Structure 1
Amino acid sequence: MRVFALAVAFVAAVDAFKPDSNSCVTEEAGLGLGGEYMHHKQAKYVIGEPYAAGSYYRYCFKGKLTCHRDAGIADLPMPKAENCSEVLKKRKLGYFVDPQHTALWPHQTLCYGIKRDDFSDSENKIIDDGLTYLRTTGLTFLTLDECKAAPNADKLCGGCVDYVHVNKKDPNRCSARVGWAKIGPQPLNLGTPCFVVGKGTVVHEFLHSLGVFHEHTNPSANLIVHDMQRGAQNYLPKAQALYTDYDSHSIMHYPQVRGVCIPLARNDGKRWCGPHESKSLGCVEPRAKDCDVEASKPFGQRKKMSQGDFATIANMYGCAKTGKNATIDFLRNKLAKKGAIHNAALETGAAKRFDKSLAKVNKARADAKAAKKAAKRAAKRAARKKRGKKGGKKKAK
């Protein structure tokens, strides 16, 4: 009876729906996609899925329905509108192949190249600081030259051909291609505004390049989207490549000013519409006034990666969560300042290859410390013994 009552209530809610002047009605085009109501600022994919290059979505704005191509790049503004009839004709003719899941970089290694002349000295330093910080995730980041010099170069970055091309082609935009695109140089644009908060935005965009989606698209997030200020792929719920709990403090979360927030509680039993849903389903179209401003304040921080962000990388790439000791190359550089003995121990340990648990690296480091302490103790014992012998000779006289 309870199920029946809920079903009746749902049908009643749908029947009660009355489209307003800002609503859109989708065309059929022989694909079973027609006759659907879409409310103002609603988006829905008709080909592919978010962040899959070549996918298309419909977008309703003030009663006008347009189609937009997803370039597979995060943080881009709404793409240029295309004729929906032409897009659907191409789909009907089978011009599109269902996109695969976002590819991850092989062997936990991302290759990059920086167009240094695009950036000022201070901006170049911020990029380098961001890469240094990213190495604490447990991944390896190599320039193309470093990749080609690696003993397993043929297995890295598509044979050292694919890399993240860091540039400032658009001086006002921060954006990146999501995941390993396998296209040679793949764009990561860092405009001037990307450096205002230090390395945080650099880290955010590189995480996109690693295949990490925006946190507010986590299907388990209880959020509303009232204004799509970027392309729809940046807002629609996305089934993650891994399953992690929603994290409001993630460095991958949009701030409130980007049209995302925690909603105020409802007392009428209705739910808020998702950015891909229509009011015809019986949900309520969210607006800015429906936001709980105080509860949404943590959104959009760019100071550091949250523990959830580190866990996401660990789950995606199988890296141990060991903080700043998580990468061999980072560890080697850090310990180089403390004496060659540490580097020597690493060279004979697991430093020549990436080890997911890093147990061998940690053991090598522990052995090096123990050997150093043992050498100091031996030196002290030898010094005491030498002093004792000298004292004994004096007494004999």
Structure 2
Amino acid sequence: MAKFDRYMLSQLLILFSFFALILVAIFWINRAVVLFDRLIGDGQTALVFLEFTVLGLPKLITTVFPIAAFAGSVYVINRMTSESELIVMQATGSGPWRLARPVLVYGICVAVMLSILTHFLVPMAKGQLSQRETEISQNVSARLLTEGEFLHPTSKVTFYTRLVGADGVLRDVFLSDRRNPEEGIIYSASEAYLVNNGDGTTLIMVDGLAQRLSNETKQLSTAKFRDFSFDISALVRNQARENLSIDSMVTPRLLARWGDLGGSGLISQGAITEEFHSRFAAPLFCIVAAMIGYATLILGGFSRFGVWREIVIAFGLLIAIDGIDGSLVDIVLRDASRWPLVYLPSLFGLVLVTGMIWHAAHPAWLRRLRRRKVAA
């Protein structure tokens, strides 16, 4: 690689790292606020919040990589054009195709990094995150030992305790169970205890009252009890999915189990196909994003008034290509045989970039074409 190529590539990678860091920080702050409120509100510790944040970072990074690749390419090309570095290179005989080489290598570098994320790190983090969410959802103490608040461990269930003693005894307990559409039950007790029995958890209520209201007859029946046990494991346990989540499988494992997953009937062939091919299409889109930034600015040439118009056009092209990808996902999900459509946005972007660079390398062809039309 020539010295100028190494210089330009280093500038592109430095600016890419800067923009990626800024974008990850912005997206992370927005997500962390919601996550912090949900976890801390459920009684979790700051360490759990930190763990969930770290596990969510790989997926977040994959979102910002194409944007950072585009921003780094646009910034470097704009700076080198305004400082006449590219003008000097073009004057020495380096055409648009020659100058595109370090940008292409830059896009490939970003694509390789994103490939490692999409094929391995993101599925591994997703699997670990799902496991930790299941464990926390089964942690009854963290969900119910919050005094003075009406809690909703699951839909149509309300729990309240006035005070949690230092010995773990719950004082003045209220439990409303409306999951049965035919009747609603309200339990109230002066004291209650949480007892772990194997994989489940039981709420032992002492000196309480059970009120049962029939929705059909509107009849209310009450019963006092000295002690009553209520299995609350189902209230806080997320229903376990019988099928494995394909987005938590690394690509080699997903490929090895393709037949078993598709044959089980629990996951459609379209979903498996889209997940598999999207892991290859996403890195390709990073190359397209970097090349669009270069091709649009190099086509605009040097201008004393800046290249804001070209930057806006390049960003619009990037958004349009990404929009095409979003519209094709549903087609692949419905029909797995149309998986080549996953690569269509990237292919369209590469064709568009090739056309723009060719036009920048042959600026006179359009004038000759117009002259021929005038002569005819």
**Greater radius of gyration (CA):** 2
Q: Establish whether TM, by shorter chain, passes 0.5.
A: no
TM-score normalized by the length of structure 1: 0.23
User: Structure 1 or 2: larger helix share?
Assistant: 2
